[in-house]
């Protein structure tokens, strides 16, 4: 009998994922629609090439890499839950840390998708792997990124799946196994964002990226956007699944975001001062971002909006009164996500290319194909996370149990 | 009917999920219906890195590529794999006091090196500067799109820029798959069958020398140059990066030929030679003229020397 158990358990999970109320179907249907839209756009791009995008030799990375960069930040932020949960044993957060780890895993999967759609020859992606391909390690930072992102994905899939597997069999998970992984996951989370920052940072041809403050700023802004996204998800989950998530956990995370945003704003100010006060030729990209360059203003309103969002959110998160009020808290979360999405997305990638290395200014505005593919990947990410939660929460609440030959003896 | 519809959507989801996992094979299986699913597709798919193939494997690849090109352009190609000549390190000189900005080099290069005509790809960019304006370090005043009836124009001077064949090339350093490297004779080359099209090299290059095939490269049949080198001017593919190779198909020979841009220049502003040969013209220029290299502060050490002969 027991050899059939994995199949029986698989169907239990499958049934749990497939069955739902009309809201669930509507949500999944909506996401599927956007995914389909993205797929259609992607097939067009596959067929005609990246000429379907607005990227050109002058601005050779665009919306895809911008989203990739932002999502690495979201993934790195899971560590913000892991530290208080496991190291300081802060109970309210410990109960929700699994959601954070799964969000990190989902974000990494989305990162990989954004890289895949950006490749000119996606079918050759195996060339980047060691052994079967010809990975340029340690010279290329992109090779480092492949290692740290996939490693982080493995860690953040293993921990929650292992814990849930044990829970589903009615057993406590073994801290001896999880603890070392958690310890590793903390520097690892920092590393994924550091390596991604270094990827830009190490190019002296692009003065905007070639600033030592880049990696610290990446980390600071990541510790804002990721947790902010999680706060919103926690509230939704709490409402839909009637799950106990302590307000204390939410307010604690909000407080931590305030500190991270403080650091982020300070580092931004440091960069801003250095560029504008020294007023060298390397000022051009910064000028393009905030004041426009030679009549090109594409990003100016976005950058000021981003700055305004970040400062407002900082104040809202910092004051206990607004932090512990759900309207202002959620407003601050949305502002932080939007602010960092602009700043660490297009606001980071595009000024690396404007002005170009030969002084040319090419104004990049994403095409519909790029937008559809981007929406499709976001929808795919949302769908993955939805499916995770759909079978994870019943297991977590003890409503879904696996058939197991040992569980009777132990439990 | 409804079930079939559902099934179709479901299978689409599955292939999407494969994609999500970033599986190369999942993607390849998606791409097959678009391309051709014959044996040569798989041979091309599993083709090894150029520098890891032995002589027989290289031969087989060349034969397959010649066949592919014949099918595509209905012309017989001769794809060379000539290795670097011993004792050579190629260097280039460009006399800024002579250049008249006529762009003959740009188009000679396009014809010789089979650049795509639509979308248009140029390996050489000629920059125009107003006399007295800032230049060299700050290229913001450079004008790339100038269209006068006659050159040279009063009050302007010109600076052509192409791959500087750095001794310390940032593009090679960042390539995640080692699809681009520096040959023993100093030429930086790309294996168009190994490049994954991530464009990291384009971000790294300080000279805007690398070009990407954003669309399917198109060249009229009668304009094709069939005398090509594997690492140089053979026709490229959609989705890969390309660049100047000092006309590797010409210069690697004994006797070799000058690059097409050197040959065409009507005012003799372009010089080319072996940096290791003390009697070469390029060595004479470096030793006797006032030379400078572009963006020397980045320590890329170009083998492309700008100078003023008069």
Determine how β-strand B304-308 pairs with β-strand B90-95.
parallel
Q: How far apart are the C-alpha atoms of A32 and A18, rounded to whole Å?
A: 14
Residue B22, pLDDT score: 43
Contact B204 A281 (CB under 8 A): no
On the question of a cis peptide bond just before residue B119, with omega within 30 degrees of 0, the verdict is: yes
Asked whether residue B50 is assigned to any structural domain, the reply reads no
Contact A302, A346 (CB under 8 A): yes
Count of residues in chain A: 411
Residues of A in contact with B175 (CB under 8 A): 136, 140
- List the one residue out of A337, A379, A403, A315 whose CA is nearest residue A3: A403
Among A158-167, B24-33, B245-254, which is the least confidently predicted range? B24-33
Verify that B145 and B268 share a domain, yes or no.
Answer: yes
Distance CA B111, CA B37 (A): 32
Closest chain A CA to residue B137: A281
Q: Read off the CATH number of the domain in which A302 is found.
A: 1.20.1630.10
Please give the residue that has the higher pLDDT: either B58 or A17: B58
Residue B265, CA distances (Å) to A283, B25, B113 in order: 37, 48, 16
Q: Quote the CA–CA distance of B204 and A352 in Å, as a whole number.
A: 10
Residue A357 to residue B139, Cβ atoms within 8 A: yes
**In B, residues 4-33, which contact A (CB 8 Å cutoff)?**
9, 12-13, 16, 19-22, 24, 27-28, 30-31
- Percentage of chain A beyond pLDDT 70 is 98
User: What is the pLDDT averaged over residues B267-292?
Assistant: 97
Q: Work out the pLDDT band at A405, boundaries 50, 70, 90.
A: low
B residues 230-269 lying closer than 8 A (beta carbon) to A:
237-241
Chain B neighbors of A214, CB-CB under 8 A: none
The verdict on residue B41 lying in a domain is no
- Judged against a pLDDT cut of 80, whether residue B281 lies above it is answered with yes
When pLDDT is averaged across residues B226-252 and rounded to a whole number, the result is: 97
CA A94 vs CA A3, A174, A231, A248: distances in Å:
34, 15, 14, 12
Residue B213 confidence (pLDDT): 98
Residues of A in contact with B53 (CB under 8 A): none
Q: Are residues B119 and B190 in the same domain?
A: yes
Is some CB atom of chain A closer than 8 A to the CB atom of B60? no
Considering only CB atoms, A352 lies closest to which of B203, B213, B238, namely: B203
C-alpha distances out from residue B90 to A270, B86, B109, B113, B254, Å:
45, 11, 18, 18, 14
pLDDT at B35 over 90: no
pLDDT at residue A13, rounded to an integer = 87
Maximum distance among all Cα pairs of chain B, rounded to whole angstroms: 83
Q: How does residue A403 score in pLDDT terms, banded at 50, 70 and 90?
A: confident
CB contacts, 8 Å: A142 with chain B: 174, 176, 198, 200
Under an 8 A CB cutoff, do B214 and A384 touch?
Answer: no
- The answer to whether residue A182 is domain-embedded is yes
Residue-level pLDDT at A410: 40
Structural domain of residue A73, as residue ranges? Answer: 18-404
To the nearest whole Å, the CA of A312 is away from the closest chain B CA by 34
Q: Judge if B134 and B272 occupy the same domain.
A: yes
Inspect the interface and report whether the beta carbons of A60 and B203 lie closer than 8 Å.
yes
Would A12 be classed as within a structural domain?
no
Helices marked H in A169-246 — which ranges?
175-201, 214-241
Cβ of B174 within 8 Å of Cβ of A140? The answer is: yes
Decide if B49 and A127 are in contact by the 8 Å CB cutoff.
yes
pLDDT category of residue B13 using cuts at 50, 70 and 90: very low
Q: Would residue A364 count as lying in a domain?
A: yes
Which distant-in-sequence residues (6+ apart) come within 8 Å of B132 by Cβ?
none
Instruction: Report the share of chain B in percent with pLDDT over 70.
Output: 88
Say yes or no for a CB contact (<8 Å) between A39 and B177.
no
How much is the average pLDDT of B121-127? 98
Paired strand residues for B188: B182
Strands (DSSP E) found in A187-331: none
B213 close contact with A: CB closer than 8 A: yes
Please choose, from the candidates A177, A357, A292, the residue with its C-alpha nearest in 3D space to the C-alpha of residue B138.
A357
CB contact under 8 A, B203 and A205: yes
Backbone angles phi, psi at B229, to 5 degrees: -120, 145
Q: What pLDDT is attached to residue A90? A: 76
Residues 6+ apart with CB under 8 A from A279: none
Q: Average of pLDDT values for A237-243? A: 87
Average pLDDT value for chain B: 90
Contact B81, B191 (CB under 8 A): no
C-alpha to C-alpha distance for B202 and B283, rounded to whole angstroms: 30
pLDDT band at A5 (very low <50, low <70, confident <90, very high): confident
CA distance A362 to A296: 9
pLDDT band at B18 (very low <50, low <70, confident <90, very high): very low
What is the mean predicted confidence (pLDDT) over B265-281? 97
For residue B79, being part of any structural domain is answered with no
DSSP structural state of residue A238: H
pLDDT in tens, A340-370: 999 999 999 999 999 999 999 999 999 999 9
Does one domain contain both B94 and B227? Answer: yes
Supply A349's token pair: 């990638």
pLDDT for B26 equals 45
Q: Do B22 and A49 touch (CB under 8 A)?
A: no
Task: Examine residue A1 and state whether it is found in any structural domain, yes or no.
Answer: no
pLDDT of residue A85: 74
Q: What is the pLDDT of residue A11?
A: 87
Secondary structure element (H or E) that encloses residue B212, with its range: strand B211-212
Cβ contact, residue pair A205, B298, below 8 Å: yes
> Could you tell me which residues come within 8 angstroms of residue A107 by beta carbon, excluding any fewer than 6 positions away?
A71, A72, A74, A75, A226, A381
Domain-embedded: residue A410: no
Name the pLDDT band for A84 (thresholds 50, 70, 90).
confident
Q: Which of B28, B207, B212 comes nearest A120 by C-beta?
A: B212
The rounded distance, in Å, linking the Cα atoms of A391 and A236 is: 16
Whether residue B71 lies within 8 A of chain A, CB to CB, comes out as no
Range of lowest pLDDT (A306-315, A329-338, B133-142): B133-142
Q: How far apart are CA A339 and CA A291, in angstroms?
A: 18
Which residues constitute the domain of residue B31?
1-35
Range scoring the smallest mean pLDDT among B2-16, B160-174, B262-276: B2-16
pLDDT grade for B45, boundaries at 50, 70 and 90: very high
The residue behind tokens 């379907």 is: A52
Q: Which residue's entry shows tokens 């990162």? A: A111
* C-beta separation of A186 from A82 below 8 A: yes
Q: Residue A337's pLDDT band (boundaries 50, 70, 90)?
A: very high
Scan residues 87-116 of B and list those with Cβ closer than 8 Å to A: none
Is A120 within 8 Å of B205 when comparing Cβ atoms?
Answer: no
Token pair of B272 as six digits: 């080319």
Are B212 and A57 in contact (CB < 8 Å)? yes
Q: By the CB < 8 Å criterion, does B119 face chain A?
A: yes
B266 and B204 inside one domain: yes
Distance from CA of A114 to the nearest CA of B (A): 10
Model confidence at A140: pLDDT above 80: yes
d(CA A370, CA B112): 34
A245-262 pLDDT, tens digit per residue, is 888 888 988 999 999 999
Report cis status (omega within 30 of 0) of the bond before B255. Answer: yes
User: Token pair of A199, please?
Assistant: 């990827």
Yes or no, beta carbons of B176 and A146 under 8 Å apart: yes
Confidence of residue A189 (pLDDT cuts 50, 70, 90): very high
Residue of B nearest to A378 (CA): B20
> Which residues on A lie below 8 Å from B208 (Cβ)?
57-58, 356-358, 360
Could you tell me if A167 and A395 are in contact, meaning their C-beta atoms sit under 8 angstroms apart? yes
Question: What is the rounded distance in angstroms from the CA atom of residue B124 to the CA atom of residue B278?
Answer: 28
Q: Which residues does chain A have within 8 Å of residue B203's beta carbon, measured at their own beta carbons?
A: 60-61, 200, 203, 205-206, 352-353
Residue B27 has pLDDT above 90, yes or no: no
Size of interface A-B (CB pairs under 8 A): 188
B302 and B282 in contact (C-beta within 8 Å)? no
pLDDT at A9: 85
**Looking at CA atoms only, how far is residue A146 from chain B in angstroms?**
9
Measured CA to CA, the distance from residue A72 to residue A77 in angstroms comes to: 9
Question: Is there a contact between A230 and A81 (Cβ–Cβ < 8 Å)?
Answer: yes
Work out how many domains chain B is built from and give that number. 2
Q: Is the pLDDT of residue B210 over 80?
A: yes
The answer to whether residues B208 and B101 belong to one domain is yes
Per-chain mean pLDDT for chain A: 92
Lowest mean pLDDT among A375-389, B72-86, B130-144: B130-144
Give me the half-sphere count of Cα atoms (radius 13 Å) on the Cβ side of residue B242: 29
With CA atoms as reference, the chain A residue closest to B18 would be A113
Let me know if residue B252 belongs to a domain.
yes
Answer yes or no: do B94 and B235 share one domain. Answer: yes
pTM recorded for the entire structure: 0.92
Q: Are B22 and A112 within 8 A, CB to CB? A: yes
- B198/A205 touch (CB, cutoff 8 Å), yes or no: no
Residues of chain B numbered 154-183 and touching chain A (CB < 8 Å) = 161, 170, 173-179
Number of domains, chain A: 1
Tell which residue, A192, A147, A114, has the closest CA to residue A349: A114
What does each C-alpha distance from A217 to A73, A198, A207, A214, A258 come to in angstroms? Answer: 11, 12, 16, 5, 15
Please list, in sequence order, all residues whose beta carbon lies within 8 angstroms of the beta carbon of residue B63, skipping any fewer than 6 positions away: none
The predicted pLDDT at position A1 comes to: 52
Owner of token pair 């393009």: A288
Q: How far apart are CA A7 and CA A101, in angstroms?
A: 26
- Decide if A384 and B20 are in contact by the 8 Å CB cutoff: yes
Whether B134 maps to a domain, the answer reads yes
For an interface test with A, the pick among B198, B205, B212, B244 (most A C-beta atoms closer than 10 Å) comes out as B198
Instruction: Report the complex ipTM.
Output: 0.93
Contact B49, B178 (CB under 8 A): yes
Task: Determine, for residues A119 and B21 on separate chains, whether the beta-carbon distance falls below 8 Å.
Answer: no
CA distance A164 to chain B (A): 21
* CB-based contact A281 B176, cutoff 8 Å: no
> If you search the block for the tokens 């090299």, which residue do you land on?
B201
Which three-class secondary structure state does DSSP give residue B305? strand
Is residue B7 domain-resident?
A: yes
Residue pointed to by tokens 């930072």? A141
Give the distance from CA B189 to its chain's centroid.
7
């Amino acid at each position: 009998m027991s050899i059939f158990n994995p199949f029986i358990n698989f169907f239990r999970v499958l049934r749990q994922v497939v069955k739902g109320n009309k809201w669930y179907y509507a949500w999944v249907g909506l996401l599927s629609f956007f995914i389909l839209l993205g797929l259609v756009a992607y097939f067009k791009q596959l067929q005609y090439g990246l000429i379907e995008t607005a990227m050109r030799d002058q601005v050779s990375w665009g919306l895809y890499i911008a989203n990739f960069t932002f999502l690495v930040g979201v993934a790195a932020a899971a560590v913000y839950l892991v530290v208080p949960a496991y190291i300081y044993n802060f109970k309210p957060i410990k109960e929700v840390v699994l959601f954070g780890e799964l969000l990190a895993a989902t974000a990494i999967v989305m990162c990989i998708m954004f890289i895949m759609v950006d490749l000119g020859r996606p079918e050759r992606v195996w060339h980047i792997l060691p052994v079967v391909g010809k990975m340029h390690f340690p010279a290329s930072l992109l090779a480092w990124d492949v290692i740290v992102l996939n490693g982080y994905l493995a860690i953040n899939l293993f921990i929650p799946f292992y814990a849930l597997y044990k829970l589903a069999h009615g057993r406590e998970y073994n801290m001896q196994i999880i603890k070392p992984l958690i310890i590793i996951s903390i520097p690892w989370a920092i590393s994924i964002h550091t390596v991604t920052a270094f990827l830009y940072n190490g190019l002296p041809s692009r003065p905007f990226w070639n600033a030592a403050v880049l990696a610290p700023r990446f980390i600071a802004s990541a510790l804002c956007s990721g947790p902010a996204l999680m706060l919103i998800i926690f509230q939704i989950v709490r409402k839909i699944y009637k799950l106990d998530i302590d307000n204390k956990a939410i307010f604690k995370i909000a407080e931590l975001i305030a500190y991270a945003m403080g650091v982020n704003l300070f580092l931004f100010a440091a960069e801003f001062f250095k560029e504008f006060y020294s007023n060298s030729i390397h000022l051009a990209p910064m000028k393009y971002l905030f004041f426009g360059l030679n009549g090109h203003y594409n990003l100016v309103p976005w950058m000021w909006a981003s700055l305004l969002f970040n400062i407002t959110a900082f104040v809202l998160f910092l004051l206990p009164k607004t932090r512990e009020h759900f309207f202002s808290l959620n407003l601050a979360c949305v502002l932080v996500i939007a602010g960092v999405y602009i700043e660490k997305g297009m606001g980071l990638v595009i000024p690396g290319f404007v002005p170009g290395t030969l002084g040319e200014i090419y104004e990049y505005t994403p095409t519909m194909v790029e937008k559809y593919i981007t929406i499709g990947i976001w929808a795919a990410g949302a769908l993955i996370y939805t499916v995770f939660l759909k079978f994870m929460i019943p297991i977590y609440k003890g409503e879904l149990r696996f058939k197991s030959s040992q569980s009777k003896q132990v439990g | 009917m409804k079930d079939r519809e559902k099934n179709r959507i479901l299978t689409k989801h599955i292939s999407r999920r494969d994609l999500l996992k970033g599986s190369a094979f999942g993607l390849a299986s998606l791409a097959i219906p678009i391309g051709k699913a014959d044996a040569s597709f798989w041979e091309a798919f599993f083709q090894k890195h150029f520098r890891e193939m032995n002589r027989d494997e290289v031969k087989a690849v060349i034969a397959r590529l010649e066949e592919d090109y014949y099918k595509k352009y209905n012309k017989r190609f001769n794809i060379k794999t000539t290795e670097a000549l011993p004792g050579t390190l190629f260097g280039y000189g460009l006399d800024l006091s002579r250049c008249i900005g006529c762009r003959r080099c740009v188009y000679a290069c396009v014809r010789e090196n089979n650049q795509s005509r639509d979308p248009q790809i140029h390996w050489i960019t000629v920059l125009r500067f107003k006399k007295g304006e800032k230049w060299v370090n700050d290229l913001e005043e450079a004008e790339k799109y100038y269209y006068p009836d006659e050159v040279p124009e009063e009050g302007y001077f010109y600076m052509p820029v192409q791959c500087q064949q750095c001794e310390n090339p940032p593009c090679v350093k960042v390539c995640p798959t080692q699809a681009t490297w520096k040959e023993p004779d100093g030429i930086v080359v790309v294996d168009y069958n190994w490049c994954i099209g991530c464009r990291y090299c384009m971000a790294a290059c300080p000279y805007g020398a690398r070009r990407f095939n954003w669309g399917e490269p198109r060249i009229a049949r009668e304009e094709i140059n069939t005398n090509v080198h594997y690492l140089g001017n053979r026709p490229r593919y959609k989705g890969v990066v390309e660049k100047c190779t000092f006309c590797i198909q010409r210069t690697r020979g004994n006797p070799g030929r000058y690059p097409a841009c050197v040959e065409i220049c009507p005012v003799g502003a372009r010089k080319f030679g072996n940096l290791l040969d003390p009697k070469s013209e390029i060595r004479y220029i470096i030793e006797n003229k006032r030379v400078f290299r572009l963006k020397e502060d980045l320590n890329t050490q170009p083998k492309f020397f700008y100078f003023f002969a008069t």
